[in-house]
Amino acid sequence: MAQPVHAPRVNNNDDVVKVARICVQVGDAVAAGDLLMELETEKATVDVEAESDGYVLAVACEQGQDIAVGAVALWLGATPDEAPPQASAGPVTMVADSGMTAKARLLLRRHALSAGAVPRTAARLTAADVEAYLALHPPAASSAPTPRRSSIELPAPAETSPLSSTARGMLATVTWQRDHAAAAYLELEYDPRPWEAAAAAFMRERRLLFSPLLSLMAHRLAQFAHNAGANATVLEGETAQLVRYKQANLGFTVQAGEVLYFCVVNAADTLAASDFVHKLFYLQRRAMGHNLTSAEMRGATIGFTSMARWGVRRHQPVLAPNTGVMIAHSASAPDGESAILGMTYDHRLLSGFDAVRLLKTLTQPGSY
């Protein structure tokens, strides 16, 4: 399945980045860690590396072009003859206005200037044009924001080491929620016994050797995410866009020793309950053996997590990048008659009413 490579956020103040160098072309074979392109802003340059082995299917930007943070820069696939999705089949590639440089756009925003008010010396407005205008029209001293601290002062001597691949994934997840989502959280108390009875009957009728409770709850989420407006995200840029996914890819957390994996069942909403349960169990086994591929951990549009195995009664999970909800399942009370079902959600997509309505749906088992 084709996987998009998005333009990352380099600096918190920059909504666009410049494609400084494209290091691959369509048809190239790449290995995990290979350099795909270099992006730059006013303050930093960042390397974009392949997260898995594959082939370059399409390059959706040009060298020297400004593109929006979160835009699809290129597509990778497992085979060289795979066709990248059409723009309407997933997150839309958003190429920013090329009439100005990224640094010029940053200066305009910082000083609340209109691009039309600044004379330009070439076809593209440059930072030098803006700086020349500011020299003749000095801004108020209070217009410039306080610069962010660029480094952290460590309180004691320490050793540093590169992050592992899973730690980098966690960093990307937390950073996305911080920089993009308007994350909110709510929870409902419910009676878990109907779900437990439904899961026990499902297990007995299909002669399973494991409880399908969490899998069935996750499957119900995949079935109702579309109608609830939860199977979506918002792409930011000069013009924000609502993206409604055409299929529900269910992301599910699996703790394998010291490593937390986020495995993904693609098109979960199209699977029958039995097929979904077996698929998720297959991915859980692969995760426990540390055998998941990159493709099996990417592309989630909704998420589900549980801390019931550790007896946790409440927890507030983090949204996976470009998702609208992450359901939080927890352990039942000691009497077994009550439990908490929580949800972190992107308030740009869902109101509190929408979130409560979805949670109430998930507290009731379906017919299997």
3-state secondary structure 22-91: ECCCCCCEECCCCEEEEEECCCCEEEEECCCCEEEEEECCCCCCEEECCCEEEEEECCCCCCCCCHHHCC
Cα distance between residue 41 and residue 106, in whole Å: 9
Is pLDDT larger for residue 16 or for residue 289? 289
Give percent of the chain above pLDDT 90: 47
Structure tokens at 176: 């996305």
The 10s digit of each residue's pLDDT in 201-249 is 999 999 999 999 999 999 999 999 988 899 999 987 667 789 999 999 9
Cα distance between residue 81 and residue 78, in whole Å: 9
Mean pLDDT, residues 337-361 taken together:
95
Give the pLDDT confidence score for residue 249 in this predicted structure: 95
Report whether pLDDT(141) > 80: no
Q: What are phi and psi of 199, to 5 degrees?
A: -65, -40
C-alpha dihedral, 24 to 321 to 16 to 138, nearest 10°? -150
Confidence of residue 121 (pLDDT cuts 50, 70, 90): confident
The 10s digit of each residue's pLDDT in 266-325 is 999 999 999 999 999 999 999 999 998 888 988 999 999 999 999 999 999 999 999 999
Q: Which residues of 88-107 are buried (b: 16+ CB within 10 A; e: fewer)?
A: eebbebbbbeeebbbbbbbb
Helix (H, G, I), strand (E, B) or coil at 228: helix
Report whether pLDDT(150) > 60: no
Cα distance between residue 34 and residue 31, in whole Å: 6
Give the pLDDT confidence score for residue 90 in this predicted structure: 38
Is pLDDT larger for residue 230 or for residue 125? 230
Give the pLDDT confidence score for residue 139 in this predicted structure: 66
Q: Which range is least confidently modeled, 139-143, 256-260, 316-320, 325-329?
A: 139-143
Give the pLDDT confidence score for residue 144 in this predicted structure: 42
Contact 315, 151 (CB under 8 A): no
pTM of the model: 0.61
Q: Which residues of 153-162 are buried (b: 16+ CB within 10 A; e: fewer)?
A: eeeeeeeeee
Kindly report the CA angle at 268 between 202 and 86, in degrees rounded to 5? 170
Helix (H, G, I), strand (E, B) or coil at 346: strand
10 Å Cβ neighbour count for 186? 14
Q: What are phi and psi of 303, to 5 degrees?
A: -140, 155
Q: Which range is least confidently modeled, 43-47, 78-82, 163-167?
A: 43-47
Give the pLDDT confidence score for residue 13 in this predicted structure: 60
Report whether pLDDT(155) > 90: no
Give the pLDDT confidence score for residue 339 in this predicted structure: 96
Cα distance between residue 90 and residue 60, in whole Å: 14
Cα distance between residue 15 and residue 9, in whole Å: 7
Is pLDDT larger for residue 353 or for residue 168? 353
Give the pLDDT confidence score for residue 216 in this predicted structure: 97
Mean pLDDT, residues 70-84 taken together:
87
Domains of the chain: 3-89 (2.40.50.100), 102-137 (no CATH), 165-362 (3.30.559.10)
Mean pLDDT, residues 138-143 taken together:
58
Cα distance between residue 192 and residue 363, in whole Å: 8
Report whether pLDDT(175) > 80: yes
The 10s digit of each residue's pLDDT in 331-345 is 999 999 999 999 999
How high is the mean pLDDT of the chain?
85
